[in-house]
Structure 1
């Protein structure tokens, strides 16, 4: 029996992992693992592959429970203390970042991670797709750290890191290092990188003779740790979030992603198109109203008023033959 044809366009639905990510169930990668583990069903059937699209009226469930309606995208800054792991469940029973968060923010996902002994800025979101986008090196956002390390670093080593370095067979991209000051046997550095691989700062600095004994993330792209107190969480205002994400991950005025023609996959599993919002009528006036953004510009055609209403000819305005 022939396989049914694959959907030809976005109107036929969205990938199941993407739908789960938008719902804040998990990141797209984690959602794919959940599918492989048999935890996700579509219309009553357990899925074994993420190569499935969700269409109109489909019923998506995780562990037998229907996923919630898709919420607007939100983002929080969190000042992670050291001694906490950035995971929802730790096999060793250690305390996690998520156990210490305010209950009212609901289930969230971290954008990148900070290891057990690292501290500082941790971005949290309810949108797994946003987390995936912001973690990609191609996004170009710089993660910036304040680092205290035992030992000294030479200009030659700084130039080496600036060009990228390989450590134990793993290649790391360009890393910016600025020496802030030296205190006794320690050196304070500001480090900037765009990849954020596992324990990257510690590994690359170790490769040039430094042992990191304190690591504090101060910025992730345009978002700063600032004066946020240790252990505290603060939501980023929607207007600021929209401005900073820009074309990278555009949001509408209600906080919903506008990618793929402003389509939304609501979290009942239905793929729907967002209707265009009607523009308010132009104010009455003598002259032509200003065109709305995106409207074609130009002079009114002959015989037309600026408001595009036909003008009745009279004795004073009839054209001469």
Structure 2
């Protein structure tokens, strides 16, 4: 059979007698092909899913995008890596003497800086103390100082950067004392049937069941009868708790009682003038009818005394036994819409109002 001298692709592929390098019909064409060998033609730049590049062969496992498409979104070749910045990894290591001189220089530089203990003796910046107490970010606290709303030891602060001692200095914002120490203040809506103690040896449900897993041990401010519901305060601030319950400071407590009527018009006057009890007279500071439905009445009674069962005893002595009793406010802190059994943290404003009422 006569050889045509061409392969199946129609291209010239002649070999000499020595089996050397294949030649093409033209030297120029050969050079152009070699130059294009590493750069695919525009029509060949496509995303191949095979492992053989853009040849379209199905041999080998499929590994996602083809090798020709890894260099960029258009499928070009990979970009050359940028040289690594910084210290040259091939450079020789620095001598130990140089590192020793650097360390000695740094030691001399920081030797004259004040110690942390000295900074603590000088106190903390006022805006930092206010931020930790919950008055917002440091920038927001700086704005409080700029607005002349902060005073320290009775003097309004007029400049930034003042250092204070939270343990000794008296700090106020808008006239209300700031609780700068790690004190905690909570309000609990005590349900009926809960004993007003932090622990109960008889295993009854008590206030301590609502404040587990707290950072510090809390104690209650005053008491509520077991069957009385409503607000009761919990804190670890001993002096504040003592003053809130001391008769000298006369902190008002407000109750709403459910009684059966009809009630006379002079009931409020009788309560304000004083009801004689076994342990002396008891007087109400305020009385009003909140709601009436037939013979069922809801009345509000406010008083600053804290004797045991005092509201129930006063109304019963006046001829109106109490069916249900709820304490709706302790001083300036209202119960509001707080659900039964829920515990909430008092705001800084509420704490300040409590301290103001007892001259703290």
User: Residue 116 of structure 1 aligns with which residue?
Assistant: 226
| Correspondent of 1:194 among 297, 300, 304 | 304
Q: Is 1:164–2:274 an aligned residue pair? A: yes
Give how far 1:244 is off. 4.1
CA contact (8 A) 1:153 1:209 kept: no
Give 1 or 2: higher strand fraction.
1
The Cα offsets for residues 100-136 of structure 1, whole Å up to 9 and x where unpaired, read as 2242253211111111111111111112221110012
- Per-residue CA deviation, residues 155-185 of structure 1 (Å, 9 max, x unaligned), is 2232111112211243213342211222233
- Name 2:316's counterpart in structure 1: 206
Alpha-carbon distance in 2 for matches of 1:183, 1:240:
35
Q: For residues 153 and 91 of structure 1, do their structure 2 counterparts lie closer, same or farther at Cα, with a shift above 3 Å needed?
A: farther
Aligned CA RMSD, in angstroms, stands at 2.1
Instruction: Give the length in aligned residue pairs.
Output: 181
Larger radius of gyration: 2
Once the two structures are superposed, the pairs formed by residues 234-245 of structure 1 within 5 Å of their partners are 234-245=344-355
Corresponding residue to 1:98 among 172, 195, 208: 208
2: CA distance between counterparts of 1:89 and 1:247? 29
Unmatched segments (≥5 aa) in structure 1: 1-69, 251-321
Q: Deviations over 1:248-292 (max 9, x none)?
A: 343xxxxxxxxxxxxxxxxxxxxxxxxxxxxxxxxxxxxxxxxxx
- Deviation, structure 1 residue 83: 1.1
Counterpart position of 1:125: 235
1:1-321 alignment, distance < 5 Å = 72-246=182-356, 248-250=358-360
Cα 1:91–1:175 change in 2 (3 A) is farther
TM-score by length of 2: 0.47
Runs of 4+ in 1 over 6 A off after TM superposition: none
**How far apart, in 1, do the equivalents of 2:291 and 2:308 lie?**
26
Secondary structure of the structure 1 residue equivalent to 2:322: strand
Give the Cα–Cα distance (whole angstroms) in 1 for the partners of residues 351 and 338 of structure 2: 17
CA 1:173–1:93 in 2, change beyond 3 Å: closer, same or farther?
A: same
Distance 1:240 1:204 in 2: 30
How far apart, in 2, do the equivalents of 1:177 and 1:148 lie? 13
Separation in structure 1 between the aligned mates of residue 357 and residue 289 of structure 2, nearest angstrom: 34
Pick the structure with more helix per residue: 2
**Maintained 8 Å contact 2:231/2:328:** yes
Paired residue secondary structure (1:104)? coil
